[in-house]
Structure 1
């Protein structure tokens, strides 16, 4: 005897929705943490570049106006 399609009840669907929502929340949290870390690293890089540039300007014998 052939079986028909299994009918998924509303409770099962609600459980799947809750599981999917939890996965999305977890993924968003991980994404937010990664983007915060990237922003922090980019800010540090920019600060180091600025410091390096300032040191190069201070060691240079040219005046500020000549450099610009």
Structure 2
């Protein structure tokens, strides 16, 4: 499993998951499901972990991609 630290670009971080695990490496444009569906807008290598920057959460995968594009994150 690959563990990622999560940064929310448009939403408050408090009370939301701050880690995400995936069996496969993530890429920009992928959609992950945490509390909602979020589009991965950026991936950064930190010292000991990768961080994914996520756009605003949506109710579906397609909405998440459209939201990221509309907000200028993709």
Q: What TM-score does the superposition give when structure 2 sets the normalisation length?
A: 0.18
Q: Which has the higher contact order (CA 8 A, sep 6+)?
A: 2
Task: Find the structure with the greater CA-based Rg.
Answer: 1
Higher helix residue share: 1
